[in-house]
Amino acid sequence: MANKTALVVSAHSADFVWRCGGAIALHEEKGYDVTVVCLSYGERGESAKLWKQEGMTLEKVKTERRKEAENAASALGVTDIQFFDLGDYPLELDTDAKYKLVDVIRKVQPAFMLSHSQYDPYNTDHMYATRIALECRMIAQAWGHNPGEKVLGAPQLYLFEPHQTEQMGWKPDTFLDITSVWDKKRAAIECMQGQEHLWDYYTNVAENRGNHFRRNSGGQAGGRPAKYAEGFQSVFPRTVDEL
Ligand SMILES: [Zn+2]
């Protein structure tokens, strides 16, 4: 039987590392094939350190960002990383680009998807990426789109943790213990040479979410001793036979 699969839709090429690198590494270890789509390199808006170097050009920044993302992806064990190179600040997708993402979704047939918070006034590319992920998920479910292809079921869309959490209206309902793969996530984080100022920040976030994991898994009355975790907000309800 084919492996289970998951799909990450990342607005810029480093976002998947900070926000769901643990989830990626953990599911790869569980035998999932994880595909990451980077809609842009974040070459204009998220590469300040590179732009401060002498003689920098857009092409050089993109090449550098691609290298960093590929290194991070291999540290996490990502099965497949795809760069759509659609430009950032602002990120925009025309209909053809949306169909390209729909093709990926249908091909991957993810058991679950991951993308950004639905609101982000600091970074509209992020919330736009989620809108696109939802729109393309919907198109991938439509029997009338490229009839004859396998249509998509109903994978959960998990929204990963944004920067400046409280400003985004993001509220986690799921905590994932990533302690066993923390070393991989930290190694992936350290591939992001252009954003060194975020390395310790996202280590702190993982420790704080580890605390929430411990508290919500039973606290001192038998909770799991998770040291690092990632939080997610799910968009769709779960369908269950038992609570
Ligand atoms: Zn970003």
Q: Mean pLDDT for the chain?
A: 96
Across 222-226, average pLDDT: 88
pLDDT surpassing 90 at residue 196: no
Contact 124, 1 (CB under 8 A): no
Contact 6, 35 (CB under 8 A): yes
pLDDT surpassing 80 at residue 199: yes
User: Which of residues 159 and 219 earns the better pLDDT score?
Assistant: 159
What's the pLDDT score for residue 81?
A: 98
Measured in angstroms, how far is the CA atom of residue 144 from the centroid of ligand 1? 33
Give the model confidence (pLDDT) of 35-68 as tens digits.
999 999 999 998 888 999 999 999 999 999 999 9
Residues having C-beta closer than 5 Å to ion ligand 1: 11-12, 15
Measured in angstroms, how far is the CA atom of residue 142 from the centroid of ligand 1? 29
pLDDT surpassing 80 at residue 194: no
Measured in angstroms, how far is the CA atom of residue 133 from the centroid of ligand 1? 15
What's the pLDDT score for residue 142?
A: 98
Measured in angstroms, how far is the CA atom of residue 90 from the centroid of ligand 1? 11
Vertex 51, ends 13 and 59: CA angle to 5°? 60
What's the pLDDT score for residue 186?
A: 98
Measured in angstroms, how far is the CA atom of residue 34 from the centroid of ligand 1? 19
What's the pLDDT score for residue 8?
A: 98
Across 93-120, average pLDDT: 98
Across 200-227, average pLDDT: 94
Task: Describe the crossing of helices 15-29 and 182-189 by its angle, rounded to 10 degrees.
Answer: 150
Confidence label for 195 from pLDDT (cuts 50, 70 and 90): confident
Measured in angstroms, how far is the CA atom of residue 235 from the centroid of ligand 1? 20
The residues pairing with 174 across neighbouring beta strands, listed in sequence order, are: 232
Measured in angstroms, how far is the CA atom of residue 18 from the centroid of ligand 1? 10
Measured in angstroms, how far is the CA atom of residue 146 from the centroid of ligand 1? 31
Measured in angstroms, how far is the CA atom of residue 52 from the centroid of ligand 1? 19
Confidence label for 152 from pLDDT (cuts 50, 70 and 90): very high
Measured in angstroms, how far is the CA atom of residue 166 from the centroid of ligand 1? 17
Measured in angstroms, how far is the CA atom of residue 49 from the centroid of ligand 1? 15
Measured in angstroms, how far is the CA atom of residue 150 from the centroid of ligand 1? 31
Measured in angstroms, how far is the CA atom of residue 116 from the centroid of ligand 1? 9
What's the pLDDT score for residue 102?
A: 98
Across 197-205, average pLDDT: 94
Measured in angstroms, how far is the CA atom of residue 3 from the centroid of ligand 1? 29
Measured in angstroms, how far is the CA atom of residue 15 from the centroid of ligand 1? 5
Give the model confidence (pLDDT) of 12-28 as tens digits.
999 999 999 999 999 99
